[in-house]
C-alpha cells in the first residue's frame, strides 16, 4: 500500500454528523408536512452517504432521484464550468423537491443545478447541504438547511472525496498535505 501524500485530521465526528442529520430531518419533515410525496434529489457523488442517512430520518412519503454535476473533476478547486453528467430519472413539475448537496463552496454548481431544476416547474424547491463554506462563495446562493459551516479548508469523508479517495471515512476530515 502506498503512502498518501496527505494526512487527515478529524474535523466533525460521526457522532456529531448523526445528531445533526437527525435535527435536519426533523426540520425538513416539519417544513414539508403538507406534501403528498417529497422528491429528494441527491447531487452525486459527494452527497450519497448524507442522503442515505437523511432520507431514513425524514418522516414523510418520499422518492429519491439523483443528478450528477461536476465542476471539480479530480482537482481541489472549481473550474467554474459545470457539467451535468447524469440527469434526473423522474419528472419534478408540480412537485415538492429537496436538493441534497454535500458542500456549498463557490456556489457555481448549485446555482447551475437550481436554475435547471427551477425551469422544470417544481411546486417548491429547497436545498439542504451538509457543509457550507461561505467564505468561498462567488455566487449569491444559500441552502435553507445547513449541517455545518466550515472554514476554507479542503475536506474528505462521509461521501466527500479527494480524487475519488476517502469517501468511506465515517467523519469529516481536514486534508493536510505532508
The secondary structure element, H or E, covering residue 28 is helix 14-31
Does 93 score more than 80 pLDDT? yes
Q: Determine the pLDDT at residue 72.
A: 55
**What is the pTM assigned to this prediction?**
0.91
| Annotated catalytic residue, options 53, 96, 102, 105 | 105
Q: What is the pLDDT of residues 51-66, one digit of tens each?
A: 999 999 999 999 999 9
One CATH from 3.40.50.2020, 3.40.190.10, 3.40.50.1970, 3.40.50.1370 for 13-71+79-153? 3.40.50.2020
11 neighbors 174 (Cβ within 8 angstroms): yes
Q: Determine the pLDDT at residue 5.
A: 86
Phi and psi of 47, rounded to 5°?
A: -90, 0
**How many angstroms separate the CA atoms of 167 and 157, rounded?**
5
Average pLDDT, the chain: 92
Q: What is the pLDDT of residues 3-50, one digit of tens each?
A: 678 999 999 999 999 999 999 999 999 999 999 999 999 999 999 999
Phi and psi of 29, rounded to 5°?
A: -60, -45
153 neighbors 174 (Cβ within 8 angstroms): yes
> How confident is residue 85, by pLDDT bands cut at 50, 70 and 90?
confident
* Residue 136: DSSP 8-state: G
Q: What is the pLDDT of residues 137-153, one digit of tens each?
A: 999 998 999 999 999 99
Q: Determine the pLDDT at residue 96.
A: 98
**How many angstroms separate the CA atoms of 27 and 145, rounded?**
8
Does 101 score more than 80 pLDDT? yes
Answer yes or no: 105 catalytic.
Answer: yes
Amino acid at each position: 500500500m502506498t503512502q498518501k501524500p496527505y494526512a487527515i485530521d478529524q474535523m466533525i465526528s460521526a457522532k456529531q454528523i448523526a445528531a445533526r442529520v437527525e435535527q435536519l430531518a426533523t426540520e425538513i419533515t416539519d417544513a414539508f408536512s403538507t406534501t403528498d410525496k417529497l422528491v429528494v434529489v441527491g447531487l452525486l457523488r459527494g452527497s450519497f452517504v448524507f442522503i442515505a442517512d437523511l432520507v431514513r430520518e425524514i418522516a414523510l412519503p418520499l422518492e429519491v432521484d439523483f443528478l450528477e454535476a461536476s465542476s471539480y473533476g479530480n482537482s481541489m478547486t472549481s473550474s467554474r464550468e459545470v457539467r451535468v453528467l447524469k440527469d434526473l430519472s423522474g419528472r419534478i413539475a408540480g412537485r415538492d423537491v429537496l436538493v441534497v448537496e454535500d458542500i456549498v463552496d463557490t456556489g457555481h454548481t448549485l446555482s447551475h443545478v437550481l436554475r435547471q431544476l427551477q425551469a422544470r416547474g417544481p411546486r417548491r424547491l429547497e436545498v439542504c447541504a451538509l457543509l457550507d463554506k461561505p467564505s468561498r462563495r462567488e455566487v449569491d446562493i444559500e441552502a435553507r438547511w445547513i449541517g455545518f459551516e466550515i472554514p476554507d479548508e479542503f475536506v474528505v469523508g462521509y461521501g466527500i472525496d479527494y480524487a475519488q479517495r476517502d469517501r468511506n471515512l465515517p467523519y469529516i476530515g481536514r486534508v493536510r498535505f505532508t
